[in-house]
Amino acid sequence: MTTPSSSGDSLVVTDLHVEFSGFVAVGGVSFDAHPGEVRFLIGPNGAGKTTCIDAITGLSAATGSAKLGEQELLGRPVHKIVRLGVGRTFQTASVFNELSVLQNLDIAAGRHRRWTSLLRTRRGVDPSIMQALEETGLVDELATPAGILSHGQKQWLEIAMLLVQDAQVLLLDEPVAGMSHDERTATGELLQRIAAKRIVLVVEHDMDFMRRYATRVTVLHQGKVLSQGTVAEVQADPKVQEVYLGTAGAATTAAMAAVPEEAAAELANLQEEDSHA
Ligand SMILES: Nc1ncnc2c1ncn2[C@@H]1O[C@H](COP(=O)(O)OP(=O)(O)OP(=O)(O)O)[C@@H](O)[C@H]1O
């Protein structure tokens, strides 16, 4: 039988290895994530970030180990990993557009319900759903068809769906891609709130967002861990400056750490203009 994890468990990934027809997409990756932290997995395109999440959630066959508390996740079917309390979102929100926010959440919560509670919830909103709606700021959208939610709200609905499933580990693949500045801020604050009692692991390309909300970061490159630590440690790592942040080099990296995104972009432009002069 699969018992859900308890809320204090950590996720410990050790020597994770994924191959696609001989191509090593993830070649011995190790990292851990604890309740209370917003852990980031970053790296250039093709670094293996999504494949790590696919392996942890049972979508890609992998060797090594991914343990939630005492429970080994690798080798289990997807639905059993979900039952252990591991939930994920995808780069494209996978909600039922024609159904309301509440109906989407009802479906997400369905696996917990007996038929008697299903009858009860038709008359009122289940408390766990109300809590998820409040936590994600979607209370006023209860009856809104998911298809007409803003891009940000759809991502929050997906997170709410994981909350009603009582996920203890939330693996979020590029949650702020395409969001407005305000939506990104709201999402960062949401992740900090939900991470208080859970493990939140975020795959992201948005460096400004990562700097603002990461407790710790793992940088992947070509399927391996290039660097890990706090944002400051990772940004100061010459390997990261050289490989991940590209040719603009250390000066730009230091500037990016200290100034807002727009100014950093401007600085990078100036450096490029300089190099063409
Ligand atoms: N199903 C698959 N079959 C073959 N190769 C794959 C498969 N999935 C991923 N890959 C390859 O594995 C490598 C890692 O891909 P992955 O999607 O994990 O990278 P990523 O770091 O998430 O990149 P991005 O930031 O672009 O999403 C890439 O070279 C990709 O082409």
Q: Could you read off the pLDDT of 153-180 as tens digits, one per residue?
A: 999 999 999 999 999 999 999 999 889 9
Atom of ligand 1 nearest to the CA of 43: 21
pLDDT of residue 126: 82
Q: Is any ligand 1 atom within 6 A of the Cβ of residue 42?
A: no
pLDDT of residue 205: 85
Average pLDDT (247-262) is 44
SS3 245: coil
User: Is the CB of residue 82 less than 8 Å from the CB of residue 47?
Assistant: no
Distance of CA 88 from the midpoint of ligand 1 (Å): 17
Q: Could you read off the pLDDT of 34-72 as tens digits, one per residue?
A: 999 999 999 988 999 999 999 999 999 999 999 999 999
Q: What's at 2, amino acid-wise?
A: T
Atom of ligand 1 nearest to the CA of 203: 22
- How high does pLDDT run on average in the chain? 84
Atom of ligand 1 nearest to the CA of 51: 18
Q: Is any ligand 1 atom within 6 A of the Cβ of residue 48?
A: yes
pLDDT of residue 250: 43
Distance of CA 54 from the midpoint of ligand 1 (Å): 10
Average pLDDT (88-100) is 86
Q: What is the ipTM of this complex?
A: 0.96
Nearest Cα residue to 160 out of 138, 187, 188: 138
Q: Is any ligand 1 atom within 6 A of the Cβ of residue 46?
A: yes
Vertex 147: Cα angle to 56 and 190 (nearest 5): 50
Nearest Cα residue to 257 out of 200, 203, 217, 202: 217
Distance of CA 26 from the midpoint of ligand 1 (Å): 9
SS3 88: strand
**Pocket-testing residue among 18, 20, 225, ligand 1, by greatest number of atoms within 8 A of Cβ:** 20
Two tokens at 29? 């990756």
Two tokens at 261? 């995104």
Strands 38-42 and 199-203: parallel
Phi, psi for 132 (deg, rounded to 5): -65, -40
Q: Is any ligand 1 atom within 6 A of the Cβ of residue 20?
A: yes
What's the count of helices (H) and strands (E) in the chain, helices before strands?
12, 10
**How far from 116 is each of 87, 111, 186, 221, 238, CA to CA, in Å?**
26, 13, 36, 50, 59
Atom of ligand 1 nearest to the CA of 48: 18
Q: Could you read off the pLDDT of 128-150 as tens digits, one per residue?
A: 899 999 999 999 998 999 999 99
Convert 89-119 to b/e letters by CB count within 10 Å (16 or more is b): beeebebeeeebbbbbbbebbeeeeeeeeee
Q: Is any ligand 1 atom within 6 A of the Cβ of residue 41?
A: no
- The CATH number given to 1-85+167-245 is 3.40.50.300
pLDDT of residue 5: 57
Average pLDDT (89-117) is 78
Q: Whose CA is closest to atom 4 on ligand 1?
A: 20
With bands split at pLDDT 50, 70 and 90, how would you rate the model's confidence at 110? confident
Distance of CA 262 from the midpoint of ligand 1 (Å): 29
15: alpha, beta or left? (left if phi > 0; alpha if psi -120 to 50): left
Q: Whose CA is closest to atom 25 on ligand 1?
A: 45
Strands annotated E in 69-215: 71-72, 86-89, 169-173, 199-203
Q: Any idea where the domains of the chain sit in the sequence?
A: 1-85+167-245, 97-160, 247-277
